[in-house]
Amino acid sequence: MASDHFSCSIGEEFVSEIESGLESSEIHGADLRFHGVVRKTEDGREISGIRYSFYENMALRELEAIGEAMGEAYPDHLATVYHRVGEVAAGDASILIRVQTAHSAAAFEISREYLKRIKETVPIWKEPVFV
């Protein structure tokens, strides 16, 4: 889904594939990309990865709602959010939050806020895959 400043998607592609398709901008001096990476331990036990599952429409609708609210809270930014689902191996990224702003300070603030809101409300479930 996409609005003027925001696009989001959920799928099984690697974050690097999504990132390679991102467009650059000549008016945004800051381009910040947060990758949330699966770590190899969960509650002290070793895991090979995390299996993510979701209700597609609900999750996309919630991401879109976050994008709209963020557009009102922070005009003049662009953002792309991608959440990977299925089994994501330890060391691989499960989420990409890309934020573009004219100047750097806003990019950090906006990116943190996207991450916070996504963690709080988007219905995507995690199941560790133990070794």
Contacts to a copy of itself by CB under 8 A: 24-41, 90-93, 100, 102, 104-105, 107-108, 111-112, 115
Nearer CB in complex with a copy of itself: 14/61? 14
CA distance 25 to 112: 21
Residue whose structure tokens are 């959010």:
81
Nearer CB in complex with a copy of itself: 48/53? 48
Q: Rounded to the nearest whole angstrom, what is the least distance from the CB of residue 84 to a copy of itself in the complex?
A: 14
For residue 100, what are the contacts with CB-CB under 8 A and spacing of at least 6?
A: 25, 28, 30, 31, 32, 77, 78, 79, 107
42: left (phi over 0), alpha (psi -120 to 50) or beta: beta
Nearer CB in complex with a copy of itself: 8/90? 90
Nearer CB in complex with a copy of itself: 21/57? 21
